[in-house]
Amino acid sequence: MFKGAALPSAKPHLVVAQGIARTFQNIRLFRELTALENVMCGHHLRTTASVFGILVQNRHTREEERLTTERAYELLKYVGIERFATATAKNLSYGDQRRLEIARALATEPQLLALDEPAAGMNATETAQLKLLIEQIRRDGITVLLIEHDVKLVMGLCDRVAVLDFGCKIAEDIPAVVQTNEAVINAYLGGGCRHEH
């Protein structure tokens, strides 16, 4: 369910068209494309050029391409990596690749952005910068669904937290309540989800 209705399909491009974008736990960029080109790929979903227009490069198509390029550069600046616009994605640092993936997701103009383990593999400085970026995304009106193991990051960012233990939801509430939840404390101390068999 999204915005009170079932999604019409599980096909990724149709989900994105409905306003849901995501990043991946394992970074999935177009490694041989530049950072700018990666973000442009995300925005093409929102363009209207036809195959014919692309082939003949009519005025409408050229204008859309110009606007897509401008928007892609704005998003690189938004996530703090505009200086790498012409760099090949595979040559960016790990933290910058994470930021690039977020910029590409934002290029789809989502209402809901799902971030899957965005802080995985980041050092403390990169995580702090990521926190600031996510806070800015939220201030700009995009709902963020954060899937993350960094408890400090989660507690510092989220309005509401759900805790899963081996696939079982053991708590859901505001961060202050979740932190004192006995089931959560037990899970972190080595307890766990118990199933009746």
Q: How confident is the model at residue 197 (pLDDT cuts 50, 70, 90)?
A: very low
The arithmetic mean of pLDDT across residues 23-30, rounded, is 91
Q: For the residues of 155-179, what is the DSSP string, one character each?
A: HHH-SSEEEEETTEEEEEE-HHHHH
**pLDDT for the residue 52:** 59
Compute the average pLDDT of residues 149-176: 91
pLDDT at 8: 61
CA distances from 73 to 38, 39, 98, 154 (A): 11, 8, 16, 29
In this model, does residue 195 exceed pLDDT 60?
A: no
Question: What pLDDT shows up at residue 30?
Answer: 92
Q: What is the rounded radius of gyration, in angstroms, for the C-alpha atoms of the chain?
A: 19
pLDDT higher than 70, residue 19? yes
| 115: β partners | 146
Lowest mean pLDDT among 53-62, 64-73, 152-161, 175-184: 53-62
Distance CA 173, CA 161 (A): 6
pLDDT of residue 196: 45
Pick among 3.90.1150.10, 1.10.10.10, 3.40.50.300, 3.40.228.10: CATH of 12-158: 3.40.50.300
DSSP H or E run through 54: helix 51-56
pLDDT of residue 54: 66
Q: What is the pLDDT of residues 96-118, one digit of tens each?
A: 999 999 999 999 999 999 999 99
pLDDT band at 153 (very low <50, low <70, confident <90, very high): very high
